[in-house]
């Protein structure tokens, strides 16, 4: 439901900014724990979840952010923006959410990706330097820096949870979204970028949401960056094979040539932003979540189970 001013304070209230794939996964994880949830976004979700309140707000407006987040004990920043416009749109989101969470006296958990690191050799760990060179990667590094500086200054208690390429219900725009699952259920070839025979960590959205909620529930998590748990890493070809096998469909895989991506990037800003991160699919991309596992444990959804749930969701939207 949409809530107008005033919003009643609740010391157990968890506010989720953004109702896309990650925000929805966080909401599911919070509801599974029986916690009161407020979703915040520019427009009501098309398929609202029962048992939550919804507040319509533009959190880039600091007054709106303070109103929408009033009374929350934990805020989850799961808001995003069109891929090609991150440098323009993500900084105002971060500054507004920090202002709203600080005003509420709430802890802030940020759902991040791995772009800030840039190209790496070896497993990805939280102590890697931030060496992103492209616009989207630099923007992600900037946002993380702003948030950790706000934590160090005492403006807001903050934690960052990072996950790899995600898949699952609602995750349509991911590299493991429509180009894989929708095409499989439709009887078409799966499409991949990069080298399908190098190891690549994929994160199930349910595990992404659960990991962020775990951070929000633990004071020891704040002031730090965490890699959220994912099921075992395999090559992209092996992952795609599992999808076809579980779907019981003939396996067909198409790898988009690098030259075609380069040509398309000359004309399409979204493809240009995708090409910026091509290093992630050309070399091993293995995410180490041992820090999280040591601190909080790491129970993940096996890929077979997560793939079944994802295929069932895609079957539902294609009926």
Buried b / exposed e over 196-233, threshold 16 CB at 10 Å, is bebbbbbbbbbbbbbbbbbbbbeeebbebbbbbbbbeb
Helix (H, G, I), strand (E, B) or coil at 196: coil
CA 158 vs CA 20, 21, 108: distances in Å: 21, 21, 5
Helix (H, G, I), strand (E, B) or coil at 159: strand
Q: What is the pLDDT of residues 77-132, one digit of tens each?
A: 999 999 889 999 999 999 999 999 999 999 999 999 999 999 999 999 999 999 99
**Distance from C-alpha of 176 to C-alpha of 127, rounded to nearest angstrom:** 27
Q: For residue 33, how many C-alpha atoms fall within 13 Å in the half-sphere facing its CB?
A: 19
- What secondary structure letter does DSSP report for 77? E
Strand partners for 95:
none
Q: What is the pLDDT of residues 29-61, one digit of tens each?
A: 999 999 999 999 998 877 778 889 999 999 999
Query: What does the pLDDT read at residue 14?
Result: 98
Q: Is the pLDDT of residue 152 over 70?
A: yes
Query: What does the pLDDT read at residue 273?
Result: 62
* pLDDT band (50, 70, 90) for residue 272: low
What is the pTM (predicted TM-score) of this model?
0.93
CA 303 vs CA 4, 51, 123: distances in Å: 41, 29, 20
**Residues with Cβ < 8 Å from 300, sequence gap 6 or more?**
204, 207, 229, 230, 231
Share of the chain above pLDDT 70, in %: 90
Q: Report the interhelical angle of 236-247 vs 303-318 (nearest 10°).
A: 60
Q: What is the pLDDT of residues 187-220, one digit of tens each?
A: 999 998 889 999 999 999 999 999 999 999 999 9
* pLDDT band (50, 70, 90) for residue 275: low
Q: Is the pLDDT of residue 7 over 80?
A: no
Q: Report the interhelical angle of 21-32 vs 205-216 (nearest 10°).
A: 60
Q: Which domains does the chain have, with CATH numbers?
A: 14-164+204-231+286-300 (3.40.50.720)
**Any idea what the Cα angle at residue 277 is, between residues 148 and 162, rounded to 5°?**
35
Query: What does the pLDDT read at residue 271?
Result: 54
Structure tokens belonging to residue 34:
């029986």
Query: What does the pLDDT read at residue 8?
Result: 38
């Amino acid at each position: 439901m949409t809530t107008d001013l005033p919003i009643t304070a609740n010391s157990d209230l968890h506010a989720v900014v953004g109702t896309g794939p990650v925000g929805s996964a966080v909401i599911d994880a919070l509801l599974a724990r029986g916690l009161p949830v407020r979703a915040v976004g520019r427009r009501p979700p098309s398929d609202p979840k029962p048992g939550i309140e919804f507040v319509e707000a533009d959190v880039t407006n600091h007054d709106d952010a303070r109103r929408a987040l009033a009374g929350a004990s934990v805020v989850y920043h799961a808001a995003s923006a069109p891929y090609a416009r991150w440098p323009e749109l993500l900084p105002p989101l971060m500054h507004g959410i920090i202002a709203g969470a600080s005003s509420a006296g709430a802890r802030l958990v940020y759902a991040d990706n791995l772009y800030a690191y840039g190209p790496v050799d070896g497993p990805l760990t939280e102590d890697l330097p931030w060496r992103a060179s492209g616009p989207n990667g630099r923007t992600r590094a900037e946002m993380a820096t702003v948030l950790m500086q706000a934590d160090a200054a005492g403006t807001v208690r903050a934690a960052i949870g990072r996950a790899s390429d995600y898949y699952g219900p609602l995750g349509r725009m991911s590299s493991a979204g429509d180009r894989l699952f929708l095409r499989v259920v439709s009887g078409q070839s799966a499409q991949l970028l990069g080298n399908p025979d190098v190891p690549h960590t994929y994160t199930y959205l349910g595990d992404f949401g659960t990991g962020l909620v775990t951070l929000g529930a633990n004071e020891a998590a704040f002031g730090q960056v965490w890699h959220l748990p994912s099921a075992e890493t395999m090559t992209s070809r092996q992952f795609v094979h599992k999808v076809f096998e579980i779907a019981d469909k003939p396996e067909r895989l198409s790898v988009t040539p690098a030259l075609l991506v380069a040509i398309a990037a000359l004309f399409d800003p979204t493809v240009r932003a995708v090409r910026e991160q091509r290093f992630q699919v050309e070399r091993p991309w293995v995410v180490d979540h041992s820090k999280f596992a040591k601190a909080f444990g790491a129970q993940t959804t096996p890929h077979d189970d997560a793939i079944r749930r994802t295929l069932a969701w895609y079957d539902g939207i294609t009926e």
